[in-house]
Structure 1
Amino acid sequence: MSVPMGQPVAEVPAWGSDGESMEPSAARLGTRWMRPLEIAGAGLVAAITLLLLAGVTSRYLFTLPVTWMDEAVSIAFIWLAMIGAIIAVHRNEHLRLTLFAEKLPPRAREFVHAFALVAVAAVLLALIEPALSYAQEEWFIRTPALDIPNAFRVGALAFGFVGMLVLVLFYARRSVSFQALAVAAVVAMAVAGTCWLMSPQLAQLGTFNILIFLVGFVAVCLAAGVPIAFCFAVGAVSYLAFSTHIPLQVVVGRMDEGMSSLVLVSVPIFVLLGCVLDHTGMGKAIINFLASLIGHVKAGMSYVLLGSLFIVSGISGSKVSDMATVAPALFPEMKRRGHKPGEMVALLATGAAMADTVPPSIVLIVLGAVAGVSIAGLFNAGFVVAGVLLVALVALARWKARHEDMRGAVRSPLRVVGRLLLVAAPALVLPFLIRSAVGEGVATATEVSSVAVAYALLIGQLMYGGIGVRKFYDMLVDTAALSGAVLLVLGAASAMAWAITQSGVVQQLSVFLTTLPGGAIAFMAVSILVFLLLGCLLEGLPAVLLLAPIMFPIAKKLGINDVQYAMVIVCAMNVGLMVPPIGVGFFIACRIGDARPDDVVRAIWPYLAALLVGVIVIAAVPWLSTVAL
């Protein structure tokens, strides 16, 4: 399986170990060293949120734009990304594939874990000097509004690489035997030395180097459990270092560009919004209201589960948060009515996949930034597209519930429904507030995230019990770590996508795909299959980052609407995300629903088929994606 972003550290084995904890002295030293960084990360999340909120308030209420605000946010954001990435290394929260390494015998597994650590250390070591040179060159470039050297911003990259390298070396020495580490280092040096000696010959291979470095090396690192961000970095660095004369400083520059878009600033803020939703109970209020409204009908609890995921997703933007909010509230009553655990978790998993296009979807925000698609357009289309998938799942759930035991199911009195609606109303308003603010141009997708957090904190404090200071600090640190993990993947994928583009293979791929028999229809079918597969292996975000810059220009050549194509590939990836036995979301849902994967495997296929039918309908009917534009 893949280790999900944001999964609690206690549930994830440390790199280079078989799940055992580090020795106490090492853990204490690491924690003491990390505390100042955690405080800095939490402070940066809070500062960015407040700056964005102040900016939209000043512009919208007082018609007084603050010119230096974007620059201040941009500087804070890149530092948040790199400090968060360091925290994520410390917590082992970087997304990685562990399916293959976990199946190895203990001795081989230890070597593979050691190799993963060596690979991460090697690529970080290779990037430090180019990052320092990049910062040195940027010293002579001054920012327009603040009039300070840009090196103050890009210096975060070198700081992040050094910090992550120190941690990786620190944990490698304490979690893997010296013998395994030495063997892994020798193997890595032998591979690098061979590639360096053969670099003149490799330079003559042209696009074949893509298969060697950007496919072969990346695939080996993925199978070894190297975090996905570092897999992409290994591919880009090795390709440039061994088969071209392009300096590695270009990789650093592309990573900077990939992580610096102001649109992406909304990612950590929406992550924070999901944390606020979880801890204030706003999601639980929505679930209670829906259960009182339709819970008494046949398949009612399935409808409540799907409806809750649809609405809650519009607040949190996180599938993990959605499932963790909905499952504990609904599963006990569903079990009482005769639902089997496998069926419940299958519906939970596919329901979360269905709702991923409901704003504020982090994948849609990143996709809009990477592919240059209107985020307001994606948000508007996301509601309709999710509705199509919702109808497919509702129809299947109703058919499966034809023998449901309804004894004891009682319609809630109107006064109870009214009272629960009153409690849930402030939470129900939030997704529509987000969509309206972006759609009407009141605030950008970046700014509306800060407005949503302020609204959720205020309503949560007044109506849902509020959040303590210590808990809020922990939420800020969690947000920094998860954001760092996400943004590092984005930066590394941007560098790898640039390398693929420069190789010329994109032009060849474009000619092949645009001349397929069937034209746009064939291209759409191929896209669905490709993103289904990548959704299984890489999780949605890395797949989007890697392929969006390549596939969207081809889709445009074939006359496919950008927003429709975005909806199709995101939905296809979400189906792949839940496909056993390697889909990331499948295992997350099993863990949250406390069900055996073997039971869920047998139950999930009809739901995946229903989702796939919905994806085909969305691909075949462009109007569904464009009607709300």
Structure 2
Amino acid sequence: MELAVLLASFVVLLLTGTSVAAAMLVSGVLSLFVGGLPITIVAERMLGSVNSYTLLAVPFFIFAAVIMNRGGLTDRLLGVAKVFVGHLPGGTAQVDVLASIFFAGMSGSATADAASQGRILIPHMEQQGYDKGFAAGVNSASATIGAIIPPSITMVIYGSVTNISVGALFLAGIVPGLIVGIGMMLVVWFLAVRRGYPRDDYTPWTKRIWPVVSAIPALLAPVLILGGIFSGATTPTEAGVIACAYALFLGFVVYRELKPKDMLPILAETVEATAVPVFIIAAGSVFGFALTTSGFGFLMQDWLRAVTDDPLVFMVIVIGLFLVIGLFVEGTAAMLIFVPIFMPLVAGFGIDQLQFAMIVIITIMVGTITPPVGLQLFIAADIAKISVFKVDIWPFVAITMGITILMVIFPQIVTFLPGLMR
């Protein structure tokens, strides 16, 4: 009875346009009420889920990303990317992907990446003759790299849910993130040649010196952040604090593009951006608890065991489930609901936890660029002033999923660096 109420109310609320977080919270409360459990459990679950030292890294990395966008770091990273790949076929689109790789090493936020670079590069691509759909597609797709290459807010949340070392997750994401970035650049190259998209003039090496020199302080940010984590000198949360301090130093002292009056808007944007994932986590904990008490987890596990005893088939099924779920449910919510259900099976199948984590995270990020609810897709489409269904996203989805399947077959893509550091 409780499970029927939970799932039925959740689906009905989604169909009526209710946000995923609100739908999880309301349906969870209804299920617990029908099951006769005290409603005080709701407050306990919500507060307990966000009362986490690890999750403190989330607002700090968001704060750092906002400062970087407003403090001139993003512009300088775009400048470096332009002088190195702007002359390739689809030059400005190539710049978008490479700059996303740079930005990913500092902010950990795919949303911040899509918004900051999109406002600059999507209009510029349109002026150069790129299709609006392609411009929005490459921007939204490349932004997903921000959640794969560390530091990653998504990995911080995943680690808090599963008790897996966030530092190990960060190490595991480096190689897959770089491969995804290279794959997207190859897609841009192929489409640009076929469609005749323009490229910038070749930049002589002597003229590349100043853009690189001016961006060195910004490019050192990933070294500072990740070096502290991987060396064991800092926790991910402490690294987030360092990222904020360093971004403020660059914005106020080095680049001098920040003024004291900018701090209030920066703080307001940070609070607004932080509230969304935190509320999803809190609501997801109530929904997850309701799923547990209703026996949904055991039903799902029994079904998967009955379907297959092959770990490769299991992971393909998981990828398919997350792809379908990602069409309708926000990625963080999907992760909070289903990852705890799958984790006992991961151990039973003998699958490496880091390999499974990267496959889930990348598949979830694909959900953020597919209609109808992809967040990065909405951001890029809004900037380009087109419908989300006109965004040319599917070539990038295809290459990303192809790389994900390679990770299923060759787990060393994920486990090589963490194993080396051990």
What residue identity is the alignment partner of 1:319?
A: A
Paired residue for 1:369? 160
Paired residue for 1:309? 100
| CA deviation map 1:497-539 (0-9, x unaligned) | 1221122332232232134235211211111112112222222
- Is 1:615 matched up with 2:404? yes
Normalised TM-score (structure 1): 0.63
Q: Secondary structure of 1:315's partner? A: coil
Quick check: 543-552 or 257-266, which moved more?
A: 543-552
Per the TM alignment, residue 420 of structure 1 is displaced from its structure 2 partner at its CA by: 0.6
Structure 2 residue corresponding to 1:278, chosen from 48, 62, 69: 69
Contact 2:184 2:396 survives alignment (8 Å): yes
Change (3 A) 1:593 1:321: farther
Contact 1:312 1:322 survives alignment (8 Å): yes
Per the TM alignment, residue 266 of structure 1 is displaced from its structure 2 partner at its CA by: 0.9
Change (3 A) 1:450 1:234: same
Whole-Å Cα distance in 1 between the matches of residues 331 and 296 of structure 2?
23
Paired residue for 1:225? 17
Change (3 A) 1:221 1:624: same
Change (3 A) 1:272 1:261: same
Per the TM alignment, residue 376 of structure 1 is displaced from its structure 2 partner at its CA by: 0.5
Contact 2:82 2:92 survives alignment (8 Å): yes
Change (3 A) 1:318 1:248: same
Per the TM alignment, residue 571 of structure 1 is displaced from its structure 2 partner at its CA by: 0.8
Whole-Å Cα distance in 2 between the matches of residues 507 and 597 of structure 1?
37
| CA deviation map 1:44-77 (0-9, x unaligned) | xxxxxxxxxxxxxxxxxxxxxxxxxxxxxxxxxx
Whole-Å Cα distance in 1 between the matches of residues 252 and 208 of structure 2?
23
Change (3 A) 1:561 1:595: same
What residue identity is the alignment partner of 2:410?
A: V
Per the TM alignment, residue 353 of structure 1 is displaced from its structure 2 partner at its CA by: 2.1
What residue identity is the alignment partner of 2:366?
A: V
Paired residue for 2:144? 353
What residue identity is the alignment partner of 1:345?
A: A
> Superposition pairs for residues 129-208 of structure 1, below 5 Å?
205=1
Per the TM alignment, residue 581 of structure 1 is displaced from its structure 2 partner at its CA by: 3.5
Paired residue for 2:83? 292
- Is 1:320 matched up with 2:145? no
After superposition, the CA RMSD in angstroms is: 2.0
Paired residue for 1:514? 305
Whole-Å Cα distance in 1 between the matches of residues 415 and 209 of structure 2?
36
Whole-Å Cα distance in 2 between the matches of residues 625 and 461 of structure 1?
38
- Is 1:234 matched up with 2:16? no
Paired residue for 1:580? 371
Quick check: 516-525 or 374-383, which moved more?
A: 516-525
Q: Secondary structure of 2:372's partner? A: coil
Change (3 A) 1:399 1:509: same
Contact 1:358 1:386 survives alignment (8 Å): yes
Paired residue for 1:71? none
- Is 1:626 matched up with 2:415? yes
Whole-Å Cα distance in 1 between the matches of residues 312 and 76 of structure 2?
43
Quick check: 342-351 or 511-520, which moved more?
A: 511-520
Change (3 A) 1:400 1:254: same
Whole-Å Cα distance in 2 between the matches of residues 579 and 408 of structure 1?
28
Whole-Å Cα distance in 2 between the matches of residues 293 and 391 of structure 1?
14
Per the TM alignment, residue 405 of structure 1 is displaced from its structure 2 partner at its CA by: 5.5
Whole-Å Cα distance in 2 between the matches of residues 472 and 450 of structure 1?
16
Q: Secondary structure of 2:307's partner? A: coil
Gaps of 5+ in 2: none
- Is 1:505 matched up with 2:296? yes
Change (3 A) 1:524 1:598: closer
Contact 1:337 1:404 survives alignment (8 Å): no
Paired residue for 2:393? 604
Change (3 A) 1:481 1:586: closer
Whole-Å Cα distance in 2 between the matches of residues 587 and 332 of structure 1?
16
Q: Secondary structure of 1:486's partner? A: helix
Paired residue for 2:357? 566
The structure whose RCO (Cα within 8 Å, separation 6+) is larger is 2
Per the TM alignment, residue 337 of structure 1 is displaced from its structure 2 partner at its CA by: 5.0
> Superposition pairs for residues 29-44 of structure 1, below 5 Å?
none
The number of residue pairs the alignment matches comes to 418
What residue identity is the alignment partner of 2:339?
A: A
Whole-Å Cα distance in 2 between the matches of residues 406 and 365 of structure 1?
38
Quick check: 328-337 or 342-351, which moved more?
A: 328-337
Whole-Å Cα distance in 2 between the matches of residues 311 and 350 of structure 1?
15
Q: Secondary structure of 2:229's partner? A: helix
Change (3 A) 1:308 1:527: same
Change (3 A) 1:404 1:427: farther
Per the TM alignment, residue 625 of structure 1 is displaced from its structure 2 partner at its CA by: 1.0
Whole-Å Cα distance in 2 between the matches of residues 341 and 604 of structure 1?
11
Whole-Å Cα distance in 2 between the matches of residues 375 and 357 of structure 1?
13
| CA deviation map 1:344-403 (0-9, x unaligned) | 211111111244211221111001001111100111111111122123222221111225
Larger radius of gyration: 1
Per the TM alignment, residue 333 of structure 1 is displaced from its structure 2 partner at its CA by: 5.1
Structure 2 residue corresponding to 1:262, chosen from 50, 53, 59: 53
Contact 2:90 2:199 survives alignment (8 Å): no
- Is 1:465 matched up with 2:243? no
What residue identity is the alignment partner of 2:411?
A: P
Whole-Å Cα distance in 2 between the matches of residues 415 and 563 of structure 1?
43
Per the TM alignment, residue 477 of structure 1 is displaced from its structure 2 partner at its CA by: 2.4
Quick check: 572-581 or 422-431, which moved more?
A: 572-581
Q: Secondary structure of 2:208's partner? A: helix
Normalised TM-score (structure 2): 0.93
Whole-Å Cα distance in 2 between the matches of residues 313 and 469 of structure 1?
26
Change (3 A) 1:547 1:406: closer
Quick check: 257-266 or 467-476, which moved more?
A: 467-476
Change (3 A) 1:403 1:251: closer
Change (3 A) 1:620 1:413: same
Q: Secondary structure of 1:538's partner? A: coil
Whole-Å Cα distance in 2 between the matches of residues 492 and 579 of structure 1?
23
What residue identity is the alignment partner of 1:611?
A: T
| CA deviation map 1:148-182 (0-9, x unaligned) | xxxxxxxxxxxxxxxxxxxxxxxxxxxxxxxxxxx
Whole-Å Cα distance in 2 between the matches of residues 459 and 312 of structure 1?
15
What residue identity is the alignment partner of 1:419?
A: W
What residue identity is the alignment partner of 1:528?
A: I
Structure 2 residue corresponding to 1:591, chosen from 382, 397, 401: 382
Paired residue for 1:63? none
Per the TM alignment, residue 485 of structure 1 is displaced from its structure 2 partner at its CA by: 2.8
Q: Secondary structure of 2:88's partner? A: coil
What residue identity is the alignment partner of 1:544?
A: M
Whole-Å Cα distance in 2 between the matches of residues 495 and 591 of structure 1?
32
Whole-Å Cα distance in 2 between the matches of residues 349 and 451 of structure 1?
28
Whole-Å Cα distance in 2 between the matches of residues 519 and 474 of structure 1?
52
Whole-Å Cα distance in 2 between the matches of residues 592 and 335 of structure 1?
11
Change (3 A) 1:250 1:597: closer
